[in-house]
Structure 1
Amino acid sequence: MSKHVPPPEGPKDIEKIDLKEALEERYLAYALSTIMHRALPDVRDGLKPVHRRLLHVMQILRLDPNSAFKKSAKIVGDVMGGYHPHGDQSIYDALVRLAQDFSSRYPLVDGQGNFGNIDGDSAAAYRYTEARMTEVAKLLLEGLDEDTVDFRPNYDGSVQEPVVLPGAFPNLLANGSSGIAVGMATSIPPHNAAELCDAALHLIKTPNATDEKIAQLVQGPDFPTGGIIIDDRASIMEAYKTGRGGFRVRARWTQEELPRGMWQIVVTEIPYLVQKSRLIEKIAELLTAKKLTLLNDVRDESAEDIRIVLEPKSRTVDPNLMMEQLFRNTELESRIPLNMNVLSHGKVPKVMSLKDVLREWLDHRKDVLVRRSNFRLAEIARRLEILEGYLVAYLNLDEVIRIIREEDEPKPALMARFKLTDNQAEAILNMRLRALRKLEEMEIRGEHQKLTKEQKALNALLKSDDEQWVKIADEIKGVKEKYSKKTPLGRRRTDFSEAPEIDVDFEQAMIEKEPVTVVCSEKGWIRTMKGHMEDVSGLTYKDGDRGQFTFHAMSTDKVMLFSSSGKFFTLDVAKLPGGRGHGEPVRLMCDLDAADSIVSLFVHVPGTKRLLASTEGDGFVVPEDDCVANTRKGKQVLNVKAPVEACVCVVVPPDATHLATIGENRKMIIFKLDEVPEMARGKGVRLQKFKDGGLSDARAFKLKDGLSWTDSSGRNFVVTDLKEWIGERAQAGRLPPKGFPSRNKFGAP
């Protein structure tokens, strides 16, 4: 039997690490790297590292706005090789986006070749395209070589790159930015540069300016693709105040008239970041699926400018309704989020308000001004030192020449003889003979005087905070003038409007309005006949059935049915069966119980009031709008319990003052309408008291006009002397006037 052999011991130098701590540490490092170096822009220049490196390389390559274009491949290669150790495609994609005038409000790159289009087609490969900087990019880089910003070593320490650009242009808000980091994201839409300059100037003048005032000067986003923002001022103000929110942007459209009364809609601007080809595909898909009931066809007639043609189903369609349906179902209306999550001072991720963003940009511009002034002062000091040495040489020219000719080491001899510095002696020794003429001495004295004056002005500038802000304001005014709203690039492209409040059933809107006659039998078979029929005596019904309700309506109307259970049901006239035959049972169109009978059937008239009452004599007044049912199940309005049933549903005229009720016992009472409450649902109050039987009918009327009724022959009667029947609600009443119908019904009002 073999003995158990213990496992061999591992190496002695293994270090134990807690997995949780290691993962947390590494994930945090990855998250910070993503936040700092990839996803979030710097609030000062509005750029991410890849964009900053692109512009820096283009400046090194001297690709100024007036210089010749260079291959994009050269730019991408230099960026990748020297500064950005990532994929060439990601660098080129960033370059392309900076050049697209439909993506960037103020493009930083001037591209030559195929840089993609608004349809979503990608740019040509970087070996086919060329690029150079725009004037906006030059503004961002202005003063980079004057020690205005810090530099840091690149990824391999071989060269230096700027931490941030001087940023003489409010790029973060003007061009916007978007990105997704780890646990946070940013989304800043583009804005109008002239408005941003106005807000910045106001902030310089009034440092304690309110968020509201800043938001008034910056009206809202200004997208490169135009469009119309339909948010109200309050929501825009709140978004800028908190740094979070969103903007609803709609396409711009016009109505074009065509021959024979026809028309079409032409869309000329679409929302920001929406691909035109995908938008049209989506509209076509919805059209095929019959979800755009008002639209007949969509065509893309775009060339240089956008032109999307939308044809309506018919010329009777309301264009506003058709566009509202498209806005609700397609990207013709888009929501652009606002999340101003940026790197404050290039280090701390922070959601900032509009005012805070402008404040940090201005503080950065002040820092740039101070550093540039100090750099210039150092240059002036060096130049003045050399000029003073030159003047010494001119005043003692013969002695200087002697020392140079005779001394073995002329430099220390010059320094000792004339008390010169090392730089001054070196400059004298490097002077050319032609510089010894009299005219040169005059030029040196003139330059010395000029530099001394500049030095004095710069020292005064550095000592005065107010002077610095005046200088910054002048620079911003120059930017504003260059990109004012009068210029093609600076003009505002996005307008503002309030969204029309349209709450409509689009299927209903498609129905052509035409007259019909609604016919319903006693057993509940319903149909519509074309036109408003005056003579309905010729209508036929099923055996054992007869007509009960016949009335005129329009095909766009809604019909309301009141059942003996106290429920209301709503039917669309357009969906009722038409043509020949006896129609269809109304119970197939709504959940009307077999035991229920139809008390009333009528066209819904918004704003009308009705009196509802039960056989027990209880009732109340209800607005007809509160009775509309949105489902097949109907809406319970009058509460009744068997064997009690609903039996009355009559119109209450606006000028009615009194109510007449009559019971099955042939007793009638008239009382003031004010004694009956108006309710949305319930049992109501007792209208009339009965010893035997129940309520038969009721009518609301104006007492001065008298009480009318219709006999079995269709003749109308009116009684004006009604004193003996007037009483109070819930009384028993007395026999009606002579000639009142024996069926105890007032008839049609």
Structure 2
Amino acid sequence: MGQPFEPPSAGDGIESVELKSALEERYLRYALSTIMHRALPDARDGLKPVHRRILYGMRLLRLDPNTPHKKCAKIVGDVMGDFHPHGDQAIYDALVRLSQDFAQRYPLVDGQGNFGNIDGDGPAAYRYTEARLTEVARLILDGFDEDTVDFRPSYNGEKEEPSVLPAAFPNLLANGIQGIAVGMATSIPPHNAAELCDAALYLIAHPQATSPQLNTFVQGPDFPTGGILIDSAESITEAYRTGRGSFRVRARWAKEDLGRGTWNIVVTEIPYGIPKGRLIEKMAELLQEKKLPLLADVRDESAEDVRVVLEPRSRSVDPVILMESLFRLTELEARIPLNMNVLVGGLVPKVIGLAEVLREWLDHRRVVLQRRSRHRLGQIERRLEILGGLLIVYLDLDEVIRIIREEDEPKAALMARFELTELQANAILDTRLRSLRRLEEMELKREFEALTQEKEGIEALLGSEPAQWKTVTQQIRAVKKAFGPETRLGKRRTTLQNPPDTAGIDFTAALVEREPVTVIVSAKGWVRALKGHVADLSGVAFKGDDSLKIAFPSETTAKILLLASNGKVYTLEAAKLPGGRGFGDPVRLMVDFEDGTEVVAALPYRPESRLLIAGTDGRGFLAPADALVANTRKGKGILGLDGDATAALLVPAGEGDHVAVCSADKLLLVFPLGELPELARGKGVRLQRCRQTSLVDACVFRLSDGLPWRDSAGQARLANPQVLEKWMGHRAEAGSLMTRSFPKFERFGS
């Protein structure tokens, strides 16, 4: 037997903590760390900590735009060792993305070597690549060493890092950013810098401007890979107003004539964030699976620019329909999310709109201006103090030289003799003899006057809010000029267009290869589609004691209408039916059947046709086929039923002028089709009086052609108009018995 367990005493230095509270505290700490220091960008400079540390580390290495590149291994090592202890690969991945011109609208890093490509290939290892900062990064860093931003200790306390960068460039919206934190995420697409500058200038002039007003300047995202934005102006405005939404982006394509009526489609720009290699691979898979019947081949002929060639199946294919089908099935159309969840003031995570984002940046630029001006003012005052002491010295140089030569404590003697500050006395003692010439005195006076004038200007600037906004305006205009629409980098790449009107196009035929099939529905509600039009179904096997109930020829592009016993009509797509190798699948897996219901009838949907629908109680009506098509799994309630009545039949009524109905006790009635109303839904009118029996079959036919019917042996028969005179009448009558004129009658139809 072991010793019994005894809880540790308090004197052992062990503290008991409730597990629930410990987990809550630690998870909250982890969530805050992820949100604040990893995943969400600062609204002011648009950077996550890892990006900020990379830029700051590269600035410390003096990797300015005009300096030689340095190995990325050196950059990654310094950043990891001094500021970001989260692994070298994470830092290098972030560095690589900052340099990719297909991922960043305005790259912050100028890379040299293999930094990946739009195909989705990864970069070379960091020992092979080199990098330096770009002009955009220089603007973002401009002034950080002039006390424009706060610094905080690095992770080990040995060094300091900036908590935010000065950001003379609207980086948050211009380059966009994505991040996933704990319980929240951010996704901001890239925008055009010149448009952002215009919106910011308007916001300075009109501080109460709203996001919809600023949308007149910011048309929408501007992706580095171009593309076409096809959202409506209303949805774009609403997305920027709330800070949440999405944008639909399509590839840019053009029809290329090859002569003699032949042509290809050439895609020159693909949606943002879609690797070209994956896009073409998925298209090839769909082509092999025969899900792109209008497309014959896809080829990648890209060099430095994107060039994807799409070859149509035939010259008669409509290029618009071909591309619309590709947009529906492939990543040639993508949805880019917008979720402007950022750290407001660097502290509070919040979803804000376009106006608030720009206001955060502008307020930060004003704070940077104020801090920079105060820093410069301090430098000027220090220099003026020194200059004041030096000018005093020039009034009596001989006395100054005597004090320095003869006094044991020359600094104290100078301070007492000329009433100097310690700073001034130190400056005099540090002055070289060669600087004591007359010309130098004149230079000091000129410098004193210039600095005095600059000091007055800075003090006036700090004392006037309008003057500060005027200076910020000038800075933003300079950025706009550097990245304006006339520059190569600043020209808008993503255009806005309305998609072509495709309302009248049936895309089912375009998205599915047209092939003949035979649809089979079993007595227990299992459905499948055999390839081809099969006339002899005697060899078709069924599961257990199941048997054939309905079979008809159709095509893979067709829709199938199913009538359930509860009066609802469901819609299936023939292309999605299981093949004929097995027993098929239960209809209940494809639609939401209510308990106790079963399939009563099934037939292919034909647009603009009419159908006759009726119940066992003998009531029914004519219905347009278009009104029966259901777009959801729940189907459409078409036939209203009373009591124990169930739906009995759904038959075509397109070509015919008379209706033949038959009850369970072999009573037949023929009446004109015009006696039936046409309804979209309802109980209808009485077709045949069925008091002690029920309606089982009906047929709409042309009287002059005769009534088609089949006997129990499956033989097709035809009753001519003379034979049918005995059963002619009007709807709602009981009808007459099928005598020897219909021997062994089984059902209507040829």
Post-superposition offset of 1:86: 2.0
One-letter identity of the residue aligned with 1:423: L
Post-superposition offset of 1:509: 3.9
Deviations 1:699-721 (A, max 9, x none): 9xxxxxxxxx9899xxxxxxxxx
Secondary structure of 1:336's counterpart equals: strand
Deviations 1:435-479 (A, max 9, x none): 222222221111111111111111111111111111111111111
Asked whether the 8 Å contact 2:612–2:650 carries over to 1, the reply is no
CA distance in 1, matches of 2:622, 2:180: 59
Post-superposition offset of 1:407: 2.1
Does residue 317 of the first structure (1) align with residue 305 of the second (2)? no
Asked whether the 8 Å contact 1:611–1:650 carries over to 2, the reply is no
Post-superposition offset of 1:58: 1.2
Post-superposition offset of 1:401: 2.0
Deviations 1:615-643 (A, max 9, x none): x9999775564366999x99977999999
* Structure 1 residues 381 and 626: alpha-carbon distance in aligned structure 2, compared to 1, 3 A threshold: same
CA distance in 2, matches of 1:250, 1:507: 21
* Structure 1 residues 397 and 289: alpha-carbon distance in aligned structure 2, compared to 1, 3 A threshold: same
What residue is the counterpart of 1:267 in the other structure?
A: 267
What residue is the counterpart of 1:470 in the other structure?
A: 470
CA distance in 1, matches of 2:573, 2:150: 73
Post-superposition offset of 1:559: 12
One-letter identity of the residue aligned with 2:627: D
Post-superposition offset of 1:402: 2.2
Give the TM-score taking structure 2 as reference length.
Answer: 0.74
1:367-382 pair list within 5 angstroms: 367-382=367-382
Asked whether the 8 Å contact 1:317–1:509 carries over to 2, the reply is no
Deviations 1:22-72 (A, max 9, x none): 111111111111111111111111111111111111111111111111111
- The more displaced of 499-508 and 195-204 is 499-508
Secondary structure of 1:146's counterpart equals: coil
CA distance in 1, matches of 2:572, 2:183: 52
Does residue 162 of the first structure (1) align with residue 143 of the second (2)? no
One-letter identity of the residue aligned with 2:497: S
What residue is the counterpart of 1:227 in the other structure?
A: 227
Listed as ranges, the gaps of 5+ residues in structure 1 are 514-553, 575-595, 653-658, 690-695, 700-708, 713-728, 733-749
What residue is the counterpart of 1:62 in the other structure?
A: 62
CA distance in 1, matches of 2:571, 2:380: 89
CA distance in 2, matches of 1:377, 1:219: 41
Secondary structure of 2:203's counterpart equals: helix
Post-superposition offset of 1:669: 11
Deviations 1:97-147 (A, max 9, x none): 111101111000001111111111111111111111000001011111110
CA distance in 1, matches of 2:95, 2:358: 26
CA distance in 2, matches of 1:258, 1:367: 60
What residue is the counterpart of 1:289 in the other structure?
A: 289
Post-superposition offset of 1:259: 3.0
What residue is the counterpart of 2:86 in the other structure?
A: 86
* Structure 1 residues 467 and 316: alpha-carbon distance in aligned structure 2, compared to 1, 3 A threshold: same
Asked whether the 8 Å contact 1:243–1:339 carries over to 2, the reply is yes
Asked whether the 8 Å contact 2:325–2:511 carries over to 1, the reply is no
What residue is the counterpart of 2:35 in the other structure?
A: 35
* Structure 1 residues 132 and 611: alpha-carbon distance in aligned structure 2, compared to 1, 3 A threshold: closer
Asked whether the 8 Å contact 1:660–1:698 carries over to 2, the reply is yes
What residue is the counterpart of 1:385 in the other structure?
A: 385
One-letter identity of the residue aligned with 2:488: P
CA distance in 2, matches of 1:642, 1:143: 82
Secondary structure of 1:258's counterpart equals: strand
Deviations 1:505-540 (A, max 9, x none): 545248999xxxxxxxxxxxxxxxxxxxxxxxxxxx
One-letter identity of the residue aligned with 1:148: T
* Structure 1 residues 193 and 392: alpha-carbon distance in aligned structure 2, compared to 1, 3 A threshold: same
* Structure 1 residues 237 and 430: alpha-carbon distance in aligned structure 2, compared to 1, 3 A threshold: same
* Structure 1 residues 470 and 647: alpha-carbon distance in aligned structure 2, compared to 1, 3 A threshold: closer
Post-superposition offset of 1:429: 1.5
CA distance in 1, matches of 2:507, 2:117: 34
What residue is the counterpart of 2:414 in the other structure?
A: 414
Secondary structure of 2:81's counterpart equals: helix
What residue is the counterpart of 1:725 in the other structure?
A: none
1:492-571 pair list within 5 angstroms: 492-502=492-502, 504-506=505-507, 508-509=509-510
Secondary structure of 1:367's counterpart equals: helix
Post-superposition offset of 1:499: 3.0
CA distance in 1, matches of 2:397, 2:189: 66
Asked whether the 8 Å contact 1:227–1:269 carries over to 2, the reply is yes
Deviations 1:224-247 (A, max 9, x none): 111112211222112111111111
Secondary structure of 2:45's counterpart equals: coil
Asked whether the 8 Å contact 2:43–2:342 carries over to 1, the reply is yes
One-letter identity of the residue aligned with 1:215: N
* Structure 1 residues 418 and 489: alpha-carbon distance in aligned structure 2, compared to 1, 3 A threshold: same
One-letter identity of the residue aligned with 2:509: Q
What residue is the counterpart of 2:627 in the other structure?
A: 626
Post-superposition offset of 1:434: 2.0
Deviations 1:197-232 (A, max 9, x none): 111111111111122112332111111111112211
Secondary structure of 1:144's counterpart equals: coil
* Structure 1 residues 308 and 426: alpha-carbon distance in aligned structure 2, compared to 1, 3 A threshold: same
Asked whether the 8 Å contact 1:613–1:649 carries over to 2, the reply is no
Post-superposition offset of 1:491: 0.8
Asked whether the 8 Å contact 2:610–2:653 carries over to 1, the reply is no
CA distance in 2, matches of 1:205, 1:40: 30
1:91-110 pair list within 5 angstroms: 91-110=91-110
CA distance in 2, matches of 1:277, 1:72: 26
What residue is the counterpart of 1:487 in the other structure?
A: 487
CA distance in 2, matches of 1:47, 1:151: 15
* Structure 1 residues 109 and 397: alpha-carbon distance in aligned structure 2, compared to 1, 3 A threshold: same
Secondary structure of 2:296's counterpart equals: strand
CA distance in 1, matches of 2:654, 2:73: 83
CA distance in 2, matches of 1:136, 1:401: 52
Asked whether the 8 Å contact 1:661–1:687 carries over to 2, the reply is no
* Structure 1 residues 625 and 353: alpha-carbon distance in aligned structure 2, compared to 1, 3 A threshold: same
* Structure 1 residues 438 and 230: alpha-carbon distance in aligned structure 2, compared to 1, 3 A threshold: same
* Structure 1 residues 386 and 5: alpha-carbon distance in aligned structure 2, compared to 1, 3 A threshold: closer
Asked whether the 8 Å contact 2:194–2:490 carries over to 1, the reply is yes
One-letter identity of the residue aligned with 1:35: I
CA distance in 2, matches of 1:622, 1:219: 48
What residue is the counterpart of 1:190 in the other structure?
A: 190
Deviations 1:536-572 (A, max 9, x none): xxxxxxxxxxxxxxxxxx999999999xxx9999999
CA distance in 2, matches of 1:643, 1:418: 116
Tell which structure's C-alpha radius of gyration is larger: 1
Post-superposition offset of 1:497: 2.0
Deviations 1:132-167 (A, max 9, x none): 100000101111111000111111211111111011
Asked whether the 8 Å contact 1:187–1:341 carries over to 2, the reply is yes
CA distance in 1, matches of 2:42, 2:647: 78
Listed as ranges, the gaps of 5+ residues in structure 2 are 515-554, 576-599, 662-668, 690-697, 707-729, 734-750
What residue is the counterpart of 2:717 in the other structure?
A: none
- The more displaced of 116-125 and 501-510 is 501-510
What residue is the counterpart of 1:252 in the other structure?
A: 252
* Structure 1 residues 251 and 23: alpha-carbon distance in aligned structure 2, compared to 1, 3 A threshold: same
What residue is the counterpart of 1:134 in the other structure?
A: 134
What residue is the counterpart of 1:366 in the other structure?
A: 366
One-letter identity of the residue aligned with 2:150: D
In the alignment of these two chains, the number of paired residues is 635
Secondary structure of 1:195's counterpart equals: helix
- The more displaced of 425-434 and 127-136 is 425-434
Identity of aligned residues (%): 61
Asked whether the 8 Å contact 1:293–1:506 carries over to 2, the reply is no
Give the TM-score taking structure 1 as reference length.
Answer: 0.74
Asked whether the 8 Å contact 2:623–2:679 carries over to 1, the reply is yes
What residue is the counterpart of 1:452 in the other structure?
A: 452
